[in-house]
Amino acid sequence: MKLFQLINRLSHYECLNEMTDVNVTGIHYDSRKIKPGNIFVAMRGHQTDGHHYIAQAIKNGACAIVAETVNQEPSNVMYIHVPDSRYALANLAQTFYDNPSHKICLIGITGTNGKTTTAYLIENIFKAKGYQTGVISTIEYRYHNRVFPNPLTTPESLDLQRVFFEMQSNGITHVIMEVSSHALALNRVVGCAYDVVVFTNLTQDHLDFHQTMDEYWQCKQKLFYPPYVAQKDNVHAVINCDNDYGLKLKDNVKIQSILVGESAENDIYCQNPDISLSCISGLISTPKGTLSLHSPLTGHHNLQNILCAAGAAIALDIPIDRISSGISQTGSVPGRLERLTEFTDRYVFVDYAHTPDALENVIQCIRQSMTKGLITVFGCGGDRDRGKRPLMGKVAASLSDCCIVTSDNPRSESPEAIINDICKGIPDLKACIVEPDRKKAIELAIKKSGPEDVVLIAGKGHETYQILKDKTIDFDDRVCALSAKLLTSMSDTSL
C-alpha cells in the first residue's frame, strides 16, 4: 500500500516535509520491530514515550514517522505531525488491513464483570449455529482451535486490526471481543464496526486509571454511540438492567436495544430460575419464544451473563434451539467460579473476582447453596485502585466463615502494605488470617477445610503467573490447590 493512501486516511495531520510516495510494508509502534519500508508511530505510554525512539526507528529503516511532537529537523524520512498518535495508529491500522471488521459480524462486550463468561457463552451459541467463530478475551484470543496469548483484555489498535484480518482471512465470519474501558479511553477500538454491543454491569474498578466512577462510566458507555455503532445497518445494544448503570444506559442509547434482567419487565428474563452450586435451570423468555435453560454454570451473576448472551443471539436472529444448545454446552470458564473437580468431598473454586462487587456476587452465590463452612482466600493487586482494597476486605470478612488475606500481584508495592489497606475494611481482625505468601495461604485454606466445606480462592482466576516487584514468576492458584490437596492427603496418611 502506498504511503499517501494511508496518510490520507488521517482526519487531522500535517506533513512536515516533501517526499515521493513509497510503498509501505508495515506499521509499528515499537521501534525495535521497524524494518525498511515501515511506518513508525510514536505513542506516549504510562512507562515510556515512543517519541524517545524516533531516531532508533529511522536507523532501522522507517520510511515515515507519525508523531505528536518532532524535536529534530526533518531528513529523508517523511514526518507526519498528528494531534493524537493513538487515534492516528487506529486509523492507519484499519486502512492498512483493509477494514476487516466490516467483513465480519463483530460483537463487543463491555462492563466491569462478566465479559469473559459472556464471550464464552456467545462463542458456543455461534458454534451451535455452525458459524466460524473467533474470540478476543482477557484470557486469550482464539479461532479454529488455535490459541494465542493476549497480554491485554483489548489489544492495541494495530494488533487488534491485524487479528481481525488474520481471522477473516482464515474464514472466520463471527468475532466476539471484550472491550475494556482502557481500550475505549486510549482509542484502541477506533475503526471497529460493531453489529452488537453488550453491557454487562458497572461497579468500582480501575480508579487508579479513571480517577472517578463518573469518568469510568463515561468511557464504558462510549461503545454504545457513534462511531462504533454507526458503521453498519441494524446494530443492536444488549443491556443488562439489573444494575443502575444499565438503567441509565437504556434511557439514552439511540440504537435498537434488547433489555435483559431478572424482571419480567425486560425483553429477556428467566422464569423461576433454579440455581445450585452445580447448575442453573429454568425457562428464558425472549421476543422470539421461550427457551429451556440447563447450564453447568452457577450463580445469579452467571444467570445475568447467560441473559446477555441470549440477547446478543436474539439480536442476530439465531434460532431458540441453537441458543439453548450453546448455553448448555458452556461448561466451566477458566478462572470464573471454576470448580476443581479433583476435590470430591468438598468444593474448591478458583475465581477471577478482583472487585468488591464481583467478590460479593461470587460469595453470595456460594452461600445460597452451601450447607457447611466457607473459607475465602484473596488479595488485591498492587499499583491499582487502592480504594477498593478495604471494601473487598469488608466483603470477604463479613460473608465468609474464615477469611485468609494474602498477596495477589503486588507489582511494585509491598505485599504487606496492600494487605494493610485490605485489613482497614475488616471490623474484627481476629476473624481473619493474614498470610502474605499466597501458596502458603492456599495450603492453609485446604488444610482447614473439611468435608462439604467450600474454599474460594479469589483474585487471579485463570492467571498462570504472579507479578512481583522485580520479576514475574509461574503461579497458578489451581496448581497450588491441587498440590495442597496432595500434601494434605499425605499428612493424613502419615497420621
Contact 127/134 with Cβ under 8 angstroms? no
- Claim to verify: residue 296 and residue 351 sit in the same structural domain: no
- Claim to verify: residue 347 and residue 258 sit in the same structural domain: no
Q: Is residue 10 part of a domain?
A: yes
- Claim to verify: residue 324 and residue 368 sit in the same structural domain: no
102-150 residue pLDDT tens: 999 999 999 988 999 999 999 999 999 999 999 999 889 999 999 998 8
- Amino acid of residue 258: I
- Claim to verify: residue 87 and residue 114 sit in the same structural domain: no
Q: Is residue 220 part of a domain?
A: yes
Residue ending a domain, choose from 269, 300, 328 = 328
- Claim to verify: residue 351 and residue 303 sit in the same structural domain: no
The predicted pLDDT at position 493 comes to: 35
Residue 208: which pLDDT band, with cuts at 50, 70 and 90? low
CATH number at residue 455: 3.90.190.20
Q: Is residue 164 part of a domain?
A: yes
More confident residue, 160 or 278: 160
Indicate whether 471 pLDDT > 90. yes
- Claim to verify: residue 73 and residue 114 sit in the same structural domain: no
Contact 122/312 with Cβ under 8 angstroms? yes
The predicted pLDDT at position 71 comes to: 73
pTM of the model as a whole: 0.86
Q: Give the β-pairing of 280-286 and 289-295.
A: antiparallel
* Other beta carbons within 10 Å of 144: 12
The predicted pLDDT at position 94 comes to: 96
Q: Is residue 400 part of a domain?
A: yes
Indicate whether 494 pLDDT > 70. no
CA 191, 192, 198, 202 dihedral sign is negative
Q: Is residue 63 part of a domain?
A: yes
CATH number at residue 308: 3.40.1190.10
- Claim to verify: residue 9 and residue 113 sit in the same structural domain: no
Cα pseudo-dihedral 308, 240, 155, 329, rounded to 10: -20
Residue ending a domain, choose from 310, 328, 346 = 328
Give the three cell numbers for residue 213.
466512577
- Give the position of cell 476443581: 340
Q: Is residue 333 part of a domain?
A: no
CATH number at residue 88: 3.40.1390.10
Residue ending a domain, choose from 96, 126, 153 = 96
Indicate whether 495 pLDDT > 50. no
Quote the CA–CA distance of 222 and 194 in Å, as a whole number: 13
- Claim to verify: residue 204 and residue 322 sit in the same structural domain: yes
Measured CA to CA in angstroms, residue 161 lies from 98, 100, 331 at distances of 9, 7, 30
The predicted pLDDT at position 72 comes to: 66
The residue-averaged pLDDT of 189-210 equals 86
- Claim to verify: residue 241 and residue 92 sit in the same structural domain: no
Q: Is the peptide bond before 227 cis (omega within 30 degrees of 0)?
A: yes
Question: How many structural domains is the chain composed of?
Answer: 3
Give the three cell numbers for residue 327.
448455553
Quote the CA–CA distance of 166 and 170 in Å, as a whole number: 6
Helix (H, G, I), strand (E, B) or coil at 229: coil
Cα pseudo-dihedral 250, 256, 261, 266, rounded to 10: 100
Q: Is residue 487 part of a domain?
A: yes
Q: Is residue 460 part of a domain?
A: yes
Residue 491: which pLDDT band, with cuts at 50, 70 and 90? low
- Claim to verify: residue 304 and residue 164 sit in the same structural domain: yes
Indicate whether 381 pLDDT > 60. yes
Q: Which domain holds residue 441?
A: 338-494
- Claim to verify: residue 317 and residue 357 sit in the same structural domain: no
Quote the CA–CA distance of 166 and 157 in Å, as a whole number: 14
The residue-averaged pLDDT of 371-391 equals 94
The predicted pLDDT at position 148 comes to: 92
The residue-averaged pLDDT of 310-322 equals 98
- Claim to verify: residue 384 and residue 468 sit in the same structural domain: yes
234-279 residue pLDDT tens: 999 999 999 999 999 999 999 999 999 989 999 999 999 999 888 9
